[in-house]
Amino acid sequence: MKLLVTGGAGYIGSVVAAQLVEAGHEVAVLDDLSTGHADAVPAGAAFVQGTIAEAGPVLSQGFDAVLHFAAKSLVAESVADPAKYWTGNLGGTLALLEAMRQAGVDRIVFSSTAATYGEPERSPILETDPTRPTNPYGASKLAIDTALTAFAGLYGLGAVSLRYFNVAGAYTARDGRVYRERHDVETHLIPNVLAVALGEHPSVKVFGADYPTPDGTCVRDYIHVADLSRAHLLALDACAPGRHDIYNLGSGSGFSVQEVIAVCREVTGHPIPAEIADRRPGDPAVLVASSDKIHRELGWTPDHPSLKSIVTDAWTALPKN
Ligand code: UDP
């Protein structure tokens, strides 16, 4: 298939682009490089620098489907500057959908998020549970999911949204190339903890130890980026005209911040000092996915379900002095 990967110079988009190339697809990456890196675009994929609002001319070259990763994804930034998220994520995606319609491209796989659920009522979270996002980032992604449902019903679009839980780890492609997380502003737990083991920071901050969880720290569901990426290839095959399907993507088990730090200590052999800090606004206590639906309907199961293998791959991929 001929596929357009928006945001394919970012962490998750570049891994998916690499797996699509490996699967024999013809891949073009569209990325404005606002947070991505041109050198993350896999060899074998074409690269176009531009925003999703400018996708029209690219799409008119003829594509079978779009895999849409390009987005702003910092929760705190979305609270401070919501317009950037509504314009960039929702406005940009509506322009992309319109350009797809004009070019006759009728399939899309979309990066949605656990943040669409907000503070969940129960764990694990099912796709049918209430969606009440607690920040503009989650709200903008939920609005896109809503638009996709409407476009599927109105125009026969085939769409799949994958609601990611906590993605981590690194991917080694068949050509030996390693794809890893490289954010200029790093907010995620595992890279922040590993940065302490690398000596880049003296300690890691634990955002809140007074949550209603066994050790008082937040519980999250960590999924290996290679497993997450593989789900996109299944989703692409499952895109059916007139349908919008939504799937959660996690490993199905929860680990607390303290448990993650303990696994990082074990993997790196570094003591990794941790200090308790204030809660981060908007963090739910527990976010764990039920991934039963994608397992049942698309046959997806994680190859790397253990947190230790996720952390080991993230650690091995980091350049060390
Ligand atoms: N967290 C932390 N210290 C950090 C980064 C994150 O304690 O330096 C916590 C954060 O409050 C949350 C969990 O780790 O409870 C996972 O956060 P992350 O930003 O990785 O993902 P999120 O769940 O927000 O998508």
Cα 298 to its chain centre, rounded Å, is 19
Q: Are 100 and 43 in contact (CB under 8 A)?
A: no
Q: Which of 137, 164, 179, 222 is catalytic?
A: 137
Residue 33, pLDDT above cutoff 90: yes
Give nearest CA residue, ligand 1 atom 25: 166
Predicted confidence at residue 321, as pLDDT, reads 75
| Residues 265, 146 within the same domain | no
Last residue of a domain, one of 198, 231, 249: 249
Give the mean model confidence (pLDDT) for residues 32-59: 97
| Residues 49, 131 within the same domain | yes
| Residues 265, 125 within the same domain | no
Domain count, the chain: 2
Q: Are 206 and 276 in contact (CB under 8 A)?
A: yes
- Report the alpha-carbon distance of residue 269 to residue 36 in Å, rounded: 31
- Whether 219 is in the pocket of ligand 1, judged by its Cβ within 6 Å, is no
Task: Give the chain's mean pLDDT.
Answer: 97
pLDDT, tens only, 99-140: 999 999 999 999 999 999 999 999 999 999 999 999 999 999
| Residues 145, 240 within the same domain | yes
| Residues 164, 44 within the same domain | yes
| Residues 147, 268 within the same domain | no
Residue 263, pLDDT above cutoff 90: yes
The fraction of the chain above a pLDDT of 70, given in percent, is 100
Predicted confidence at residue 162, as pLDDT, reads 98
39 pLDDT band, cuts 50/70/90, is very high
CATH number, domain at 227? Answer: 3.40.50.720
Q: Are 252 and 157 in contact (CB under 8 A)?
A: no
Residue 163, pLDDT above cutoff 90: yes
Q: Tell me how far CA of residue 49 lies from CA of 28, 31, 73, 87, in angstroms.
A: 11, 5, 19, 19
| Residues 8, 142 within the same domain | yes
- Report the alpha-carbon distance of residue 206 to residue 192 in Å, rounded: 11
Instruction: Give the Å distance between the CA of 211 and the centre of ligand 1.
Output: 13
| Residues 139, 162 within the same domain | yes
- Whether 223 is in the pocket of ligand 1, judged by its Cβ within 6 Å, is no
Three-state DSSP class for 110? Answer: strand
Instruction: Give the Å distance between the CA of 218 and the centre of ligand 1.
Output: 8
| Residues 104, 199 within the same domain | no
- By residue count, the chain amounts to 321
Give the mean model confidence (pLDDT) for residues 205-209: 98
| Residues 239, 265 within the same domain | no
| Residues 100, 125 within the same domain | yes
Last residue of a domain, one of 205, 232, 249: 249
- Report the alpha-carbon distance of residue 241 to residue 97 in Å, rounded: 15
Predicted confidence at residue 282, as pLDDT, reads 83
Output phi, psi for 64, to 5 deg: -85, -30
Q: pTM higher than 0.95, yes or no?
A: yes
137 is catalytic: yes
What is the distance in angstroms between the CA of the first residue and the CA of the last residue of the chain?
Answer: 41
Give me the domain span that covers residue 235.
2-168+223-249
| Residues 175, 163 within the same domain | no
Last residue of a domain, one of 204, 232, 249: 249
Spatial CB neighbours of 244, under 8 Å, sequence gap ≥ 6: 145, 148, 149, 151, 152, 153, 157, 159, 160, 161
CATH number, domain at 207? Answer: 3.90.25.10
Spatial CB neighbours of 305, under 8 Å, sequence gap ≥ 6: 224, 227, 251, 252, 253
> Which residue, among 32, 27, 24, has the nearest Cα to 53 in the 3D structure?
32
